[in-house]
Amino acid sequence: MMAKTDTAQNPEANPLAEGPVLRQGRRADPLSGHEQPVAEAHVTQGESVSTTDVEQPSAVEVLGKQGEQDEQEWGPEADEVEAKTRQRRLRQLLRQCERVLLLDFNRLAMSDWPDNFSLAEARKHRDLWVFSALVAAVVFLSGLTGFVPAWLAGGGFGAFALIVLAGLPGIRRLYSHTPSHVDLLMRRQRLLREARKHVEYLESDTGLLWQCAAMADFNPALKTTRFSGLINLSERRALPAALTRREHFRLYLIYMLEAEKAYAQVESAYFKGHQSAIDEGWDSAVERTDNP
């Protein structure tokens, strides 16, 4: 009974009666590679923790963290290189296809082209004129042989002279403003000649239509199979000589209009990328922007 009392009054006599004391343990052994150090362990009195009991990251987690670290380190530089490459490609497309802006729509559309109805009417008038002149010439020649009276032959000669004079272009314009069959044919030839010269100017020595085929990613209409023949001729620098009909020039005009749409898309993408490069501070991607 006395022993219990002494123990209660003197706590130092029984150290086990003291509450648990928390003491800081030693640091874990350092890990190799990219492994993160284990947090300091706090152990209680009478307990021991070995480094093998601590959960360590696996090799997959280590490689994943390393890949994320590399991506964070090299990501911006890779984006800058990609932006620089894209801007260089867009500048090249703008440079090689800039002549598409020189397209003369009216010259290739040939709005003054004489239609088939006007040509048929002019052909009918020409045939009537030739027939009248032949009848008057037959009457005159018949009078020379004695088949018709002399006065009728003289009238035939006068009619023949008037008909022939009426068919001359200078006199014909005095009483009629309708173009003749010859005028319509000459107008067609002139329009074809002017359109061919304009195509030669556009194609130059590089083949504009073939160069514009590289913009097909911005306008899928440029990949249409009906343009394949024109693209092949443009690549061989033989396109202007092969355009001999109005339908050929109309097809060329349609392609150039689609190329204009693609050029506008390329230009928009270039300036948008230029602005993005400025915002990101990529100096190498915005070089030579004044002269694409």
Residue % of the chain over a pLDDT of 70: 66
**Max alpha carbon distance in the chain (Å)?**
183
Q: How confident is the model at residue 273 (pLDDT cuts 50, 70, 90)?
A: confident
Mean of pLDDT over the chain: 76
**Collapsing DSSP states into helix, strand and coil, what is residue 24?**
strand
Assess contact for 246 and 218: CB atoms under 8 A. Answer: no
pLDDT beyond 80 at 63: no
- How confident is the model at residue 192, as a pLDDT? 95
pLDDT beyond 70 at 282: no
Tokens linked to 61: 């987690």
Assess contact for 163 and 129: CB atoms under 8 A. Answer: yes
Burial class (CB in 10 A: 0-12, 13-18, 19+), 227: buried
- How confident is the model at residue 87, as a pLDDT? 80
Assess contact for 27 and 40: CB atoms under 8 A. Answer: yes
Residues 6 or more apart from 6 whose CB is under 8 A from it? 13
pLDDT beyond 90 at 197: yes
State the residue for tokens 């874990």: 28
- How confident is the model at residue 41, as a pLDDT? 40
pLDDT beyond 50 at 53: no
pLDDT beyond 70 at 76: no
The Cα 189–Cα 26 span in angstroms is: 101
Number of H helices, E strands in the chain: 11, 2
Assess contact for 84 and 270: CB atoms under 8 A. Answer: no
pLDDT beyond 60 at 57: no
Q: How confident is the model at residue 250 (pLDDT cuts 50, 70, 90)?
A: very high
Strand runs labelled E in the chain? 22-24, 42-44
- Give the residue, 166 or 194, on which the prediction is more confident: 194
Which CA distances in Å does 118 have to 125, 178, 184, 290? 11, 10, 8, 52
- How confident is the model at residue 189, as a pLDDT? 95
**How large is the average pLDDT for residues 214-229?**
92
The 10s digit of each residue's pLDDT in 116-161 is 999 999 999 999 999 999 999 998 888 888 787 888 888 888 999 9
Q: How confident is the model at residue 69 (pLDDT cuts 50, 70, 90)?
A: low
Which CA distances in Å does 248 have to 33, 108, 203, 233, 244? 70, 10, 15, 12, 7
- How confident is the model at residue 27, as a pLDDT? 56
Q: How many CA atoms does the CB half-sphere of 267 hold within 13 Å? A: 14
pLDDT beyond 70 at 14: no
- How confident is the model at residue 191, as a pLDDT? 95
Identify which of 218, 200, 206, 198 has the alpha carbon closest to the alpha carbon of residue 259: 218
Residue 23's beta-bridge partner residues? 43
pLDDT beyond 90 at 113: yes
**Collapsing DSSP states into helix, strand and coil, what is residue 266?**
helix
Burial class (CB in 10 A: 0-12, 13-18, 19+), 292: middle
Assess contact for 103 and 260: CB atoms under 8 A. Answer: yes
- Give the residue, 20 or 231, on which the prediction is more confident: 231
pLDDT beyond 50 at 241: yes
- How confident is the model at residue 80, as a pLDDT? 66
**Collapsing DSSP states into helix, strand and coil, what is residue 23?**
strand
**How large is the average pLDDT for residues 278-282?**
59
**How large is the average pLDDT for residues 98-122?**
92
Q: How many CA atoms does the CB half-sphere of 215 hold within 13 Å? A: 33
- How confident is the model at residue 148, as a pLDDT? 79
